[in-house]
C-alpha cells in the first residue's frame, strides 16, 4: 500500500511504500488482548508480602489458661484471629511474568499497526532529530501535528538527544522500531513513525510472510 510522508511542519512531501504484511492486516482482537495482558503481567513487581503466625513477633505462651474461664481456647497471641497476629493466606513475593509465542506477539504488533493505519491515526514523518536535546523544541515540532494527546513516536535508531527531549513530555512515549510495546501502541491516540523506521519495519516484520510452496510437477 501507499503511504504519505509528512514534513516536520505537517505538510505532505512524498509517498512511501508500506508493506501490506505489516500495515494492511485485518483486526485480531483476541491476539491483541493476549499481547497487552502479557505485557501488563510482566510489569508486575510481585513484591507484596505478609507475615503468617510463625513470622510475627510474640510469645508462644497461651494468653490465659485453657480451662475454667468459659472462653474459647487460645493457642498463643500470634493467632490470626487476634489483633497483631499473623495473616491467613496472605500474599507472598511471586513472579507474575510469563511468555507467549514470538509469532503471536509479532502478529499482534502488526495488527495494531494496521489498525492505526486504517483509523488514520498513524503518520509517517521525515527523519528528524533534536540537536539541542531540549523538550521545548520537540514539543514545538509535535504541535504541528495537532493538540497534545497520547502519542507514540517510533524511532529509527537509538537517538539519545531525541530521547532526552521526549522524556519530559508526559503524553509522549518513544519506542524503537524493533522493540515495540502493544499496550502503548494500542492505547495511543496518535502514532508518529519516522520514515526510516517505516522502511525498517517493512523489513523487520515483512519477513514473517510464509514462502509460497513450490509447484509439484505432474
* pTM of model > 0.85: no
In a domain, 214, yes or no: no
Instruction: Specify whether the CB–CB gap between 28 and 108 falls below 8 A.
Output: yes
Q: Which residue from 32, 8, 75 is spatially nearest to 181, judged by alpha carbons?
A: 32
Q: Which three cell numbers stand for residue 185?
A: 501502541
Count of the separate structural domains present in the chain? 2
Place of cell 509465542: 101
In a domain, 217, yes or no: no
Range of the domain at 88: 48-95
pLDDT of residue 216: 42
- Look up the CATH number of the domain holding residue 26: 3.40.1370.10
pLDDT truncated to tens, each residue of the chain (218 aa)? Answer: 898 999 999 899 999 999 999 999 998 999 999 999 999 999 999 999 999 999 999 888 888 898 999 998 888 989 998 889 999 999 999 999 999 999 999 999 999 999 999 999 999 999 999 999 999 999 999 999 989 999 999 998 888 999 999 999 999 999 999 999 999 999 999 999 999 999 999 999 876 655 433 444 44
From residue 38, give the alpha-carbon distance in Å to each of 15, 99, 101, 148: 35, 7, 11, 29
83 and 121 within one domain: no
Q: Which residue from 161, 164, 190, 192 is spatially nearest to 177, judged by alpha carbons?
A: 192
pLDDT of residue 213: 39
In a domain, 113, yes or no: yes
11 and 113 within one domain: yes
85 and 73 within one domain: yes
Amino acid at each position: 500500500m501507499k503511504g504519505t510522508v509528512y514534513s516536520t511542519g505537517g505538510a505532505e512531501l512524498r509517498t512511501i511504500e508500506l508493506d501490506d504484511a505489516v500495515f494492511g492486516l485485518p483486526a485480531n482482537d483476541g491476539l491483541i488482548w493476549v499481547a497487552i495482558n502479557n505485557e501488563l503481567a510482566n510489569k508486575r513487581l510481585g513484591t507484596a508480602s505478609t507475615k503468617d503466625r510463625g513470622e510475627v513477633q510474640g510469645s508462644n505462651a497461651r494468653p490465659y489458661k485453657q480451662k475454667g474461664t468459659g472462653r474459647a481456647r487460645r493457642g498463643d497471641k500470634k493467632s490470626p484471629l487476634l489483633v497483631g497476629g499473623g495473616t491467613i493466606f496472605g500474599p507472598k513475593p511471586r513472579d507474575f511474568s510469563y511468555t507467549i509465542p514470538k509469532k503471536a506477539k509479532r502478529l499482534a504488533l502488526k495488527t495494531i499497526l494496521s489498525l492505526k493505519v486504517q483509523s488514520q491515526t498513524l503518520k509517517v514523518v521525515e527523519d528528524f532529530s533534536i540537536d539541542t536535546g531540549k523538550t521545548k523544541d520537540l514539543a514545538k515540532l509535535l504541535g504541528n501535528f495537532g493538540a497534545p494527546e497520547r502519542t507514540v513516536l517510533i524511532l529509527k535508531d537509538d537517538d539519545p538527544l531525541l530521547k532526552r527531549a521526549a522524556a519530559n513530555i508526559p503524553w509522549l512515549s518513544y519506542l524503537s522500531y524493533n522493540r515495540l510495546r502493544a499496550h502503548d501502541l494500542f492505547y495511543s491516540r496518535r502514532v508518529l513513525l519516522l520514515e526510516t523506521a517505516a522502511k525498517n519495519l517493512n523489513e523487520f516484520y515483512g519477513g514473517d510472510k510464509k514462502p509460497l510452496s513450490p509447484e509439484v510437477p505432474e
